[in-house]
Amino acid sequence: KAGVTQTPRYLIKTRGQQVTLSCSPISGHRSVSWYQQTPGQGLQFLFEYFSETQRNKGNFPGRFSGRQFSNSRSEMNVSTLELGDSALYLCASSPSPSSYNSPLHFGNGTRLTVT
């Protein structure tokens, strides 16, 4: 089975631009969640989708948004980019609506650099 696929692997954008990141979950997984990893703040939860519905959202400004399609693929969008948005963005999928007893499977991430 193919793992979680994130595209692109690397992105360089300029302040003020917007960016869209893509995540294809493992086949059959209906949950997709997104995490931001920075050296200063560590790993922080962005949001989670299950069957096209956003179920949880982390403490991020409205510039960060996402969606999930009927095939479970997900995109996240960051508008009006700031230097502090430079980070590794990780996507994770799961067959279960709860990670209470089902681990998340992560992709390799998209490394975003904002200049």
Partner 1 sequence: AQKITQTQPGMFVQEKEAVTLDCTYDTSDQSYGLFWYKQPSSGEMIFLIYQGSYDEQNATEGRYSLNFQKARKSANLVISASQLGDSAMYFCAMTLNNAGNMLTFGGGTRLMVKP
Q: Which residues bind partner 1 (CB under 8 A)?
A: 31, 33, 35, 42-45, 48, 50, 55-56, 58, 88, 90, 92, 94, 96-101, 103-109, 111
For partner 1, the closer of residues 52 and 79 by Cβ is 52
CB of 57 to partner 1, least distance (A): 9
For partner 1, the closer of residues 65 and 79 by Cβ is 65
Q: Which residues have C-beta within 8 Å of that of residue 79, sequence separation ≥ 6?
A: 18, 63, 65
For partner 1, the closer of residues 14 and 103 by Cβ is 103
CB of 18 to partner 1, least distance (A): 23
CB of 31 to partner 1, least distance (A): 5
DSSP states of 4-62 as a string?
A: -EEE-SEEEE-TT--EEEEEEPPTT--EEEEEEEETTTEEEEEEEEETTEEEEE-S--T
Query: The tokens of 94 are what?
Result: 């799961």
3-class DSSP state for residue 83?
A: helix
For partner 1, the closer of residues 56 and 80 by Cβ is 56
Q: Which residues pair with 57 in a beta bridge?
A: 47
CB of 109 to partner 1, least distance (A): 4
Query: The tokens of 74 are what?
Result: 């997900």
